[in-house]
Structure 1
Amino acid sequence: MSDEKLMSKKKPAYPVSSNLDAYLEHYNRKMKIPIFYEDLLRFAGSVVVYDSDDNDTLWVRVYYSEFDRAEIDLSLKKVYSILLSDGGDNIIQYLNIDAVDFCTFGNSKPFRIKVRNILNDNFTYFYIKKTDASRIYGLELEHMLSPYNLNFLVYKDTLIEEHISGIPGDVFIKDMLPKCTESEKAQLAKEFVKFNERCMIRLLGDMRSYNYVIVPVHDFDHVVYRIRAIDFDQQCFEGKLKVYRPQFFKENFQMVELVRKKLLVSSVDQYKLEERSIVAKRIKSSGNRIKKLRSICKKDTISTPENIKLLRKEIYELTLDMQFKKCRKMGRVLDLALDFVKRNYEDVSMKQIMENRIKID
């Protein structure tokens, strides 16, 4: 199936409800910032950004009039301090805004800000995007249900995201995967199975290879690879269940082939079970925070009636849980999906406890 048929043509941005806004403030995600997304659109011109092989990256480097530049640079330094430091002005004198890039591809059309410390030439990035409720749910769920913490801020119609480091999936598959050892390929296959399962469980869609990164971690005498999502635009929106399973995108074909060649069916089932169990444990350990988020999401509008109707039907066919048929909101579908995973984990755990008791007796 082609991506064009798999995905909707255009996903709208959904406003932040008063309940979600209060949640963000309670958990220190909402903070006043000195610049908005719309301010960065005032650029006077741009030039195309090419990669090291002279390929168009689909980013353009924007520049501003002399009058606007000083004000924008200072505001971006302050945003950096708020996002990554204590919010004070002391570090501003040591920062330089090396580049402001604008992405012309995709729904979110983000700005990428490159900030350099002039004392040691270390640099980092952060992103400025338009606020979208479904993207915020995606970021919060990633923070609570994945192995990784995320740092982001929301203020009115502007979303600030910390950069997620790693090798873009499409670049890794093209340039680095062929050079991996056989054991590294087997480990990557395992990670892709777990990543695939995690995305489906929490309904994170559109994980094509350029929407996640591969993170190499050196562990004693070998390298372990991790896979991290970097784009949360398609959280709980699409109606087709396949959209939430990275294995069905043609860009991930080589990763799917790795799984087929390197893993037995029993191993794939084992890794899926492991990931479901880990996510269930994270749901339980997240306590009131995830309960509040799920409660807010259940009442929110983050998809279309057509998509909700289709997804609830496809998930019912997978789980045979009649409650999915009654869903009227996409957040309710998500809530039931998380509850289904948690409930099954608890049922299996209780069964094992009873079996162990019988053996002891």
Structure 2
Amino acid sequence: MTQSPAKTFSFLTSARRTLQMEAEAISALLDRLDDDFSKACELILAGKGRVVVTGMGKSGHIGNKIAATLASTGTPAFFMHPGEASHGDLGMITRDDTIIALSNSGETNEIISLLPAIKRLGIPVIAITGQAESTLGQEADAMLDSGVDIEACPLNLAPTSSTTTALVLGDALAIALLESRGFSAEDFAFSHPGGSLGKRLLLKVENIMQTGDRIPKVAPTASVSDALLEMTQKGLGMTTVIDDQNQLLGVYTDGDLRRTFERDIDLKAARVTDVMHRGGKTIGPGALAAEALYVMEQAQITALVVIDSNHEPIGIVHMHDLLRAGVA
């Protein structure tokens, strides 16, 4: 029967102890990094195939995350369960691949049993293990030492600090490979098209702008009252002012309207060209939606006129369009 914690037990003290122990375990990795880390990176870069990550139990969960991080940062990778590998899944790997095997003890049966077949194919093995002298450590082409003096678990049983160090070494590999390849934020976005970063870096103004009859337009001879009517009908808080050649002369916005009222101007008698904002903020259709957001934020406006190479309005991108697209 599970007992309630004693009233004198401090959850915060326990948490701080765990964080301190794991932080110290990570810090200790710095002194143990050696040429094998560089060799591991070189083996992966030289490989023409994918990185196959494998591990059993908690090491398998860490391996899954390492594979996902590698794949999303420019190194094609996937996770292979070692138990399933010996029952047919070994067929997923090719001679062009590179193996990353995780085992804290370095003696995990499911991992060790795969080594003969992997070696027979001539596939390089990178070990992440806490025991350099283990079978896995000795058989690996590059060995990354993830060993810890003690687990954060007070019983020194549950993998805690050791899984953290293994994960950190996987992150270090992924980032070193990312930097050596010159992997960019746009490259990252292509791997995450459904994420917010992908939307910010891949979505263009032309993909979200309002076009055709949705563009508010008035002639320079229009009265302020006519401009207000157009703004109300299109519901974008502004209207463009264009000449006979469809060239953009300026814009008239809600802000301009407030300033018009402050000047006590006759809305029916005054022409829109007398009170409009000449030129106005514009953007091209091929610009990133994130750039449109930046321009709006800097100018403290809610809409941009999209113009073509002839300076003709071909669309309007509104803050609401950016919000709907998940960019803002």
TM-score (norm 2): 0.21
The higher radius of gyration belongs to 2
